[in-house]
Amino acid sequence: MAEETAKPAVKKAAEGIDYSGRPFGYTIPDTQTAMICEQDPVIREKLVADLKKIGFLTSQPATYKDALKHMRFHVFNVVFVDDDFDTGVWETNNVLRYLENLNMAVRRQIYVVLVSATLPTMDNMQAFNKSVNLIVNKRDITSLEKILRQAMAEDEDFYRVFKETIRKQS
């Protein structure tokens, strides 16, 4: 009898959750995922093609609100954010601001790449200043696969002990 009264409450609670922001259905465990926040279709297609070659599933939100919905349901391995993604003049980039405010244990699981028209590729000081892992200048997008492989390998080596400690505590 207790089961009969519990089922409607669970069903009602589940009905209140909006799953429309889920970027993927079922993904195989240990599948690499990437979110691409880029409005230039040429650059976006290059990013998608290179990431698919490396073995990533990709999500491509159209607005920062969609991107935030996607991150609510999924911790991406890599997030590409154009420095002007869904911003007006003098507005802040809401995706970058969200990522800056994440809990450190969650943030360190996400490799954030800033795609910029002005900042130089692989400038570590600017990356630190922007709270991202890597900067890729739009002029260097053609070499993205090579740049990303090298930078992610360096990041993995640098944070290996930290990430192992976080996994053990989970």
Burial 15-50 (b: 16+ CB within 10 A, else e): eeeeeebebeeeeeeeeebbbbbbebeebbebbbeb
User: Residue 27 has what pLDDT?
Assistant: 57
29-169 in CATH: which number? Answer: 3.40.50.2300
Average pLDDT value for the chain: 83
Q: For residue range 38-56, what is the model confidence (pLDDT) as tens digits?
A: 999 999 999 999 999 999 9
pTM comes to 0.79
